[in-house]
Homo-oligomer: A and B are copies of this chain.
Amino acid sequence: MIKRFTLGSPIDTDAVVGRLPVTDISEFPLALETGEKTVISFDLRDGEMIFGLGEAIRGINKRGWIYESWCSDETNHTEDKKALYGAHNFIIIENRFALFVDFAGKIEWDLGYESPSRAKITLDGSDADIYYITGKAPRDMAIRFRGLIGKSYIPPRWAFGYQQSCWGYAKESDFVAVRDRHRENKLPLDAIYMDIDYMDSFKDFTVNSERFPDFQAFVDDMKASNIHLVPIIDAGVKREKGYSVYDEGSERGYFCTDKDGEEFQCGVWPGIVGLPDFLNPDAREWFGSKYDALLDYGIDGFWNDMNEPALFYSKQGLESAVKKLQAIDPDTMDIWGFFEMRNVLFGMQNSYSDYCSIYHDLGGRRVCHKDVHNIYGAFMTRAAAEYFEKKYGKEKVLMFSRASYIGTHRYSGIWFGDNFSWWSHILLNLKLLPSANMCGYLYCGADLGGFNNNVTPDLLLRWLALGVFTPLMRNHRALGTRAQEAYSFENVSDFADVLAVRYRLLPYLYEAFRRASDEDDMLFRPLAFDYPDDKIARETEDQLMLSDECMIAPVYEQNRLGRTVYLPEDMTLLRLSGERVDRTELKKGVHYIDVALNEVPLFLKKGKKITLAEPALNTEELDWETLEIIEG
């Protein structure tokens, strides 16, 4: 069951659908301290696992580290970090209870960090809804929570195809080449992403007319070859007189303000921007309607970026930094002066004090950004989604967001942000999946091959062999990195073999996805959910259960020709590659399995079945009906 407890007068975060009656706070079953901060604490039992927190670093079992809910433009996804882009305030304390802390400010989650046997959750504020959820097992509690927060977003079916992205595709011919080279090499592809360079000076809802002299013809040509174009939209709107989006927003007072009530100015890609006040319903409706500028060309997919919001600097921060830097005398500066000089610059980006200097208009009440930070990006994506639904109904537009809160899962998917071409990030990708699923995010995935730094073909192949199973299957890389399109390497047929498996599995995966959405269930589960009494399964975090039929166990280390895998019950190992399916029956226990670079291993449970389609080069050409049945 779920009990709702209310502290103070929380704002409406849009996380929950419907309204539960409030239980009196005197019945709150955990230690609670109130005041300027709110602290919830409880003992942890020996060996008890903790799940949840959605998009966060470290393990599936979150115990033993300290996390933060604070939507962060964090490009270094290393183990010491506390927060990534999303704020997903849901945890499950194995078989005892789950908590959803509906609070839009900063939260610190000490899950056995200060003391291994104590959890302490600290909210930076005094107004919150806290949902206490019980159930017979973690999966049960996750489903109950999902019932509370509403059905997960389902994108159009083509969004389950393979997609290619690169910050650096700038002009029409770049996109055409990506399409053509996939087709020439018999590599499937359903979408190509347009990163920031398609815009005119990074202005939202514009298209650079030099780079795209006939954008309509370009979109039509792509669509005719079954390629969807997916442009990026950033949160910040360039402050430029004569740019209609800025002029309109400014005239109507739709931008966030500073302490004096003037428009808050910060620097991101376009230079100085205004931040639309997505917490204002009128501003939301207005911003949503601006997508028409692209929808009207036939564009049917978007990714919303920089909406934590990311601040490279604020105008006031820059001025103060430059003043400090200009006061330096290199002849008298000691080493501490040098460090101070560096910190001035390091400290400018995404500065907490800047977040404290931004104000929102909440129905006439001025609210400091720090108290609503974690719903800012969520409400940007809500703005777009509400407009799309009004215009087209559901399942017509692909959208995913970088920043998110609980609730965003009803409007869009998420991607896991700016990872690296590191082997360890394959494993991080895997671990993020069940955690995101618990929090409602079914349509999600990481930048396959890694966004930052340089890829190698083996890394990309191994990562794609995981990506075959993730609903969002997008290869994305940063400007200046080594080419990582599937046709970039000598062994292009290996890539064709792996990508073919995605399309063969698509009817099964799509059906499993819809089922998870319909039933408020997870697509990916930790083995601990399904085999809670199996000691080895409990702590296995490099394999996942996929829907009710399968287990996946990708290879994620360089120079390996296989991997060790744990089977919690007898299963059939399928090695999928191109049109080939090899079967191996395996008994419960620890096994070493060979996995070639062009193979995708999949474990099918006994008595379960999946279907395979014929390979296809895009979802439109895929025969979704003629399916081969594979039994475990």
Contact of A322 among B328, B420, B559 (CB under 8 A): B328
For window 310-367 of A, CB contacts with B under 8 Å fall at 312-313, 315, 318-319, 322, 325-326, 328, 330, 333-335, 338, 341-342, 345
- Which residue in chain B gives the minimum CB-CB distance to A332? B271
B116 to A80, Cβ gap below 8 A?
Answer: no
A560 at the interface (CB under 8 A from B): yes
Interface flags for A405-442 (1: CB within 8 Å of B; 0: not) read 00000000000000011111000000000000000000
Quote the shortest CB–CB distance from A321 to chain B (angstroms): 8
| Cα–Cα, bound, A557→B559 (Å) | 21
A328 — which chain B residues lie within 8 A by C-beta?
322, 325-326
B79 to A420, Cβ gap below 8 A?
Answer: yes
Residues of A in contact (CB 8 Å), total 65
Given contacts A64-B456, A328-B325, contact A490 B79 (CB under 8 A): no
A158 at the interface (CB under 8 A from B): no
Contact of A539 among B78, B330, B345, B561 (CB under 8 A): B561
| Cα–Cα, bound, A345→B422 (Å) | 26
- Which residue in chain B gives the minimum CB-CB distance to A65? B456
A228 — which chain B residues lie within 8 A by C-beta?
none
Quote the shortest CB–CB distance from A309 to chain B (angstroms): 15
A333 to B318, Cβ gap below 8 A?
Answer: yes
Contact of A79 among B64, B65, B342, B424 (CB under 8 A): B424
A564 to B566, Cβ gap below 8 A?
Answer: yes
Interface flags for A517-560 (1: CB within 8 Å of B; 0: not) read 00000000000000000011001010000000000000001111
Quote the shortest CB–CB distance from A486 to chain B (angstroms): 16
A72 at the interface (CB under 8 A from B): no
For window 92-128 of A, CB contacts with B under 8 Å fall at 113, 115-116
A154 at the interface (CB under 8 A from B): no
Please state the number of chain copies in the assembly. 2
A319 to B330, Cβ gap below 8 A?
Answer: yes
Quote the shortest CB–CB distance from A27 to chain B (angstroms): 32
| Cα–Cα, bound, A313→B334 (Å) | 12
Given contacts A63-B559, A423-B79, contact A564 B539 (CB under 8 A): no
A268 at the interface (CB under 8 A from B): yes
Tell which of A341, A420, A452 has the most Cβ of chain B within 10 Å: A341
Interface flags for A592-603 (1: CB within 8 Å of B; 0: not) read 100000000000
A-B contact pairs, 17 of them (CB 8 A): A78-B420, A79-B422, A79-B424, A80-B422, A80-B454, A113-B456, A116-B458, A202-B335, A270-B335, A271-B334, A318-B333, A319-B330, A535-B561, A536-B592, A539-B561, A539-B562, A590-B590
A interface list, Cβ under 8 A from B: 47, 49, 58-59, 61, 63-65, 78-80, 113, 115-116, 202, 267-271, 312-313, 315, 318-319, 322, 325-326, 328, 330, 333-335, 338, 341-342, 345, 420-424, 452-454, 456-458, 490-491, 535-536, 539, 541, 557-562, 564, 566, 590-592
| Those 5 A-B pairs whose CB atoms lie nearest each other, nearest first | A80-B453, A79-B422, A325-B325, A61-B559, A590-B590
